[in-house]
Amino acid sequence: MPRIIADLHIHSRYSRATSRDMDVKTLNHWGRIKGINLLGTGDFTHPSYLAELKEKLESNGRGLFHLKNDPDSVHFMLTVEVSNIYSDRGKVRRIHTLIFAPGFEVVEKINSTLSGWGKLASDGRPIFGFPVKQLAKMVLDISEECMIVPAHIWTPWFSIFGDRSGYDSLEEAFGELTPHIRAVETGLSSDPAMNWRLSALDDITLISNSDAHSPSKLGREVNIFDCEMDYRTITDIIRTKDRTKFLKTVEFYPEEGKYHYDGHRVCKVLFSPEETREHNEICPKCGKPVTVGVMHRVEDLADRPEGYKPENAIPFVRLIPLQEIIAAVMGIGTGSAGVKREYERLIEKGGSEFRILLDLSKEELASFTPERILEGIIRVREGNLTIRPGYDGVFGEIKIFGGEEEAEKQLGLF
């Protein structure tokens, strides 16, 4: 039974600030490069994109889809991210939610219902003015095989636990429908270990996805399953938190996420949660409130100490994309021609990015990988890195090589 590497939260070119290349044929190409064999379609509520999906995909007979006349292509699950912005209990709530659906017939019913509440053609991620609980009821009334998954749950501005946007518990948001919320998405700025500090999430499955807006960003985070390519099987594994079939998640280093720490981007003020409390959440340069990030918010809601691990926790590993490792070794940008050439050469030799980063031994990698890039891969696997956390919309900075080694590299000593 082949291993499934699944990235279930992405966007199409019909979403704002998204690459024109986010179509299923290009996604299939990049999925193969990355080593991903199951992708969310994203944006199934958009009429034009849904028409493309129907034109270019065909069912595998088990609730998932592949390119027409190409059953060996990357498979796709019908997914969308929805934004709900509304007032509740004296506060404006801005909640992003993922919906997984088992087929086009169900998707059409969802779209027909949602079209009465907003313009589905305005954005691949549609915005509605009703509560997220109502969204869950609408979708589950259409099909209980759908999954409702709160997206990037700690992001300050648009998430279920966000400091500026959300609630203090799933129950506050979903009420009597809370038992139907069986999974949450950790988001790029948090990892499972941070979420383990909340006992309320012990029976909730933590999933991880890229939220990619361009093909090269696929796989920043993924879920790895040991099962058949079947919608019901995969969603049941997620619902039941089946540790025998849900092998692990692959995580972005959460410090690299753009809302990990607190701060004020305009003033270039970066604070740890402790420093924010010392300053009463006020920027010392301009006197305005700082943006409270994910780590701070986790600590506010946590009822366990850092380092706690529940007995039924699904394992995870942290990785850095291969292009970033190559760029760090070369001392140039990830978009440069040199990085692109070396990336393509390594993929040709190694089979896929995840095979290189996860599977091949040091000895196997050494047969085709330059020494410094090999060292970078091993350092990433071991977490031997220097990290400056992201804050207030600014991505964090991770240095694979630092200190004296960085100086030597600049002098051309390796």
- The verdict on residue 217 lying in a domain is yes
Question: Is there a domain that residue 349 lies in?
Answer: yes
Question: Are the C-beta atoms of residues 400 and 376 closer than 8 Å to each other?
Answer: yes
Domain match, 19 and 139 both: yes
Task: Answer yes or no: do 245 and 359 share one domain.
Answer: no
**Domain range enclosing 370:** 321-410
- Burial of 303 per CB tally in 10 Å (0-12, 13-18, 19+): exposed
Cβ atoms of 289 and 220 within 8 Å: the answer is no
Question: Is 265 part of any domain?
Answer: no
Looking at the structure, do residues 239 and 348 belong to the same domain, yes or no? no
Q: Are residues 196 and 330 in the same domain?
A: no
Tokens representing 133 are 């609980």
Q: Which amino acid is at 227?
A: C
- pLDDT at res. 414: 34
Q: Which amino acid is at 230?
A: D
- Whether residue 68 is found in the same domain as residue 181: yes
Chain-centroid distance, C-alpha 391: 17
Residue 51 included in any domain = yes
68 with 174, same domain: the answer is yes
Q: Is there a contact between 146 and 100 (Cβ–Cβ < 8 Å)?
A: yes
332 and 251 part of one domain: no
Closest CA to 297 of 189, 215, 380: 189
CB 132 within 8 A of CB 97: yes
Instruction: Give the residue ranges of the chain where pLDDT is below 50.
Output: 403-414
Q: Radius of gyration over alpha carbons of the chain, in Å?
A: 21
Query: Do 243 and 325 share a domain, yes or no?
Result: no
Q: What integer pLDDT is reported at residue 402 of this predicted model?
A: 74
Q: Are residues 78 and 192 in the same domain?
A: yes
Residue with tokens 């044929």: 25
C-alpha span between 210 and 5 (Å, rounded): 12
Rounded Cα–Cα distance for residues 210 and 64 (Å): 19
For 31-49, the DSSP string reads: HHHHT--EEE---TTSHHH
Nearest to 222 by CA among 359, 34, 23: 34
| Predicted local distance difference test score (pLDDT) of residue 1 | 59
Tokens of 333: 């940008």
Q: Which residue has the tokens 């500090």?
A: 197
Same domain (yes/no): 338, 205: no
For residue 45, the tally of other CB atoms under 10 A from its CB is 24
CATH of the domain at 58: 3.20.20.140
Virtual torsion, Cα 308, 314, 319, 322, nearest 10 deg: 180
Q: How far apart are CA 160 and CA 149, in angstroms?
A: 10
Structure tokens at 10: 């992405």
Q: Note whether 100 and 147 are within 8 A (CB).
A: yes
